[in-house]
Amino acid sequence: MTSTTTATATSHPATNALAQTLALARRSVLGTARQPVIWFPAVVFPLLIAAINSAALGRSTALPGFPPVESFGQFLLVGTLTQGVLFGGIIGGSDLALDIESGFFERLVASPVARWAILVGRLAGSAVLGAFQAVVFIGVFAAFGAPIEGGPAAVAVIILTAAVLAVAVGGFAAGLGLRTGSQEAVQNMFPLLFVLVFVSSAFFPTALMKGWYRRAAEANPISWMIDGLRELVITGFDRSAALTALAVASGLAALTLTLATTQFRRRLRAAA
C-alpha cells in the first residue's frame, strides 16, 4: 500500500485503518438498520412467534421435567433472541453480496482503504446490531414478565454472546456473499437457519423431546448455547453455563470467520 500524504489524514497507517474500519462499520450498521425490511426477520417475526407460542404452549410449564421458569416467556427469551440474531443476520448480512453485485466492492478494493478493514468493518457492524437486538429483546421480555435471575452479570453475558453470534452469522453471510456474489443466494439460506433454530432447544426443552428428534436437537451446538444462557436467565449466574454459551458462539464465529477470510482473499486475488 503506497503511503500518500494528504492534507487531512493522520499520518500513522494503523490509526488510518482504524478510522476506516469505524467508518465502514458505521456504514454497515446504518445501512442495515435503515432498511425496514430487516426489522421483520430480526425483531418482529421472532417476537410474534414468541407471543403466539407463549399463549398457546404456556401450560407446558406444568409438565414434569420442565425447567423451573416463572413464565413460558422466560423460557423463550434466549431462543427468541437467537432467532432474531440469526434471521436478521442472514438477511442483513447479504449487503456485502449486494456491494459486489453493484460494483461498490470493487471500488472499495481499488481505493486506499486497508483491505481487512472492509471485512472487519462489516463484522463489527454485525456485532453492534447483535448487541442492540439483545438489549431490545431483554427489555421487551422483561416488560412482559420474564425477568433475568442472573442479574446484570447475566445480562452482560447475553449481550456479549449475541454480539459474537451475530459475528458468526455475519461471517457466514459474508463468506457466502463473497463466494457467490449474489444477494439472493445469501438470503436463500434463511430456511436453513430456520431449521437450525427449530431443531434445537429454542422453542421447547430437549429433555421433553423423544426419539431421533431429541438426539438431533441435543447434538445441535445452538442448543448448548441456548441452554447455557437460559441457565443464567432462569436460575442465576453460573460461570460454567456462561462459558459454555460463549464458547459455542465463539467456536461458530471462528469457523465462519475462516470461511469469510478465505473467500475474501480468493476474491481479492481474482480482482487483482
Partner 1 sequence: MTELTAAASRTAVDAHRRLGAPAVLPVARQLALRGVLSMIRIPAAIVPVVVMPVFFTLAFSGAFSAIAELPLFPTDNILDWMVPFAVLQGAAFAGFGVAYGTGRDLENGFYDRLLLAPTPRLGLVLGPLIYSAARSMLPLLIVVPVGYLGGARISGGPVGFAVLALAAVCTALLAGLWGLGVVYRVRSQRAGALVQAGIFVTLFLSVGQVPLELMTGWLRWVAERNPFTYVLTMARQGFLGEVTWADTWPGLVSFLLGAAGLGWFAWRGFRRLVP
Interacting residues with partner 1 (CB under 8 A): 52-60, 62-63, 65, 195, 198-199, 203-204, 208-214, 216-217
Q: From the CB of 160, what's the least distance to partner 1, in Å? A: 28
Q: From the CB of 25, what's the least distance to partner 1, in Å? A: 30
Q: From the CB of 99, what's the least distance to partner 1, in Å? A: 24
Which whole-number Å values give the CA distances from 6 to 12, 21, 109, 180, 221, in the listed order? 12, 19, 19, 36, 49
Q: From the CB of 63, what's the least distance to partner 1, in Å? A: 6
Please identify, using beta-carbon distances, which residue of 64 and 103 lies nearer to partner 1.
Answer: 64
Please identify, using beta-carbon distances, which residue of 105 and 203 lies nearer to partner 1.
Answer: 203
Closest C-alpha among 154, 163, 192 to residue 176:
192
Please identify, using beta-carbon distances, which residue of 195 and 268 lies nearer to partner 1.
Answer: 195
- The three-state DSSP-derived secondary structure of 108-142 is HHHCCCCHHHHHHHHHHHHHHHHHHHHHHHHHHHH
What stretch of H or E contains 145? none
Please identify, using beta-carbon distances, which residue of 23 and 48 lies nearer to partner 1.
Answer: 48
